[in-house]
């Protein structure tokens, strides 16, 4: 199993990070991808990936932090991209959820990081929240920059939206949300998505799956996401695990 989206750098893990990482293989996890959302967290992700064989880093500036993006940040991201354990640019995207967002700035920062990913021949990991109406035409317009792969993390849009992304060849990841009782929309999409376009994630420490909802999330709970997907798709857990592991290698060619 691979947890393709974790935030291992978060303070909440300070007390038990070492132990948590040491037990990953016992928990059935081959790799965990730790994801940055600003310069500071991206830097910590690279350090963790350097320290631990089973950790890879994904680095980037989240739309909520787009004010911090500038030419020197871009240069720093570019440098990290040459690191063998840095496998993608993310999480980047659009997020119109909280008051005060700047749509134009978010799009500008997203486009610049997409261009960087293209230059570096890297896939991108997308965070999308309350902005699908802008995101679809944006990605269609810049489709020529997306040939190194797109993963939509924590997918929570409608089936109709997914079908547009399906045509564009995007991969999707579902996390703990798919296990929630009140998430029929997400479950419907998970049921529909072809197994060869799907990977697993936790987004830990956030969004712990049932029965840990509301508590701190850990990479090991990715097995609960896998179980739920197997149940929704009426296939065996083994099939989900094997196929998603194969997909990881397709999306992230730097992963051994």
Using CB under 5 A, list all residues that contact Ni ion.
203
Nearer Cβ to Ni ion, position 114 or 233?
Answer: 114
Nearer Cβ to Ni ion, position 110 or 233?
Answer: 110
Residue with the CB atom nearest Ni ion in the bound state: 203
With a CB cutoff of 8 Å and minimum separation 6, the contacts of 9 are 34, 36, 41, 44, 45, 48
Q: CA-CA distance, 199 to 182, in Å (whole number)?
A: 22
Nearer Cβ to Ni ion, position 95 or 203?
Answer: 203
- Nearest distance from residue 171's CB to Ni ion, in Å? 16
Composition of the chain by helix, strand, coil, percent to 5: 50, 15, 35
- Nearest distance from residue 71's CB to Ni ion, in Å? 25
Reference 162, options 137, 127, 190, 123; nearest CA is: 190
- Nearest distance from residue 153's CB to Ni ion, in Å? 6
Nearer Cβ to Ni ion, position 4 or 244?
Answer: 4
- Nearest distance from residue 242's CB to Ni ion, in Å? 25
């Amino acid at each position: 199993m691979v947890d393709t989206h974790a935030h291992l750098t978060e303070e909440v893990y300070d007390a038990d990070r070492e132990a948590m990482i040491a037990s990953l293989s016992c928990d059935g996890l081959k790799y965990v991808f730790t994801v940055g959302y600003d310069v500071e967290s991206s830097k910590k992700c690279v350090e963790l990936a350097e320290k631990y064989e089973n950790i890879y880093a994904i680095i980037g500036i989240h739309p909520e932090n787009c004010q911090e993006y500038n030419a020197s940040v871009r240069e720093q991201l570019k440098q990290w991209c040459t690191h063998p354990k840095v496998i993608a640019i993310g999480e980047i995207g659009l997020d119109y959820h909280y008051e005060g967002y700047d749509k134009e700035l978010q799009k500008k920062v997203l486009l610049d990081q997409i261009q960087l990913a293209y230059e570096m021949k890297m896939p991108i990991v997308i965070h999308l929240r309350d902005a699908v109406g802008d995101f679809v035409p944006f990605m269609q317009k810049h489709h020529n920059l997306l040939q190194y792969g797109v993963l939509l993390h924590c997918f929570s849009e409608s089936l109709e939206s997914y079908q547009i992304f399906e045509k564009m060849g995007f991969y999707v990841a579902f996390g703990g949300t798919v296990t929630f009782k009140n998430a029929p929309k997400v479950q419907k999409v998970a049921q529909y998505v072809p197994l060869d376009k799907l990977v697993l994630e936790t987004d830990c420490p956030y969004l712990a799956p049932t029965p840990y909802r509301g508590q701190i999330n850990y990479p090991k709970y990715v097995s609960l996401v896998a179980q739920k997907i197997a149940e929704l798709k009426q296939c065996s857990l083994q099939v989900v695990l094997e196929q998603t592991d194969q997909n990881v290698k397709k999306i992230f060619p730097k992963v051994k």
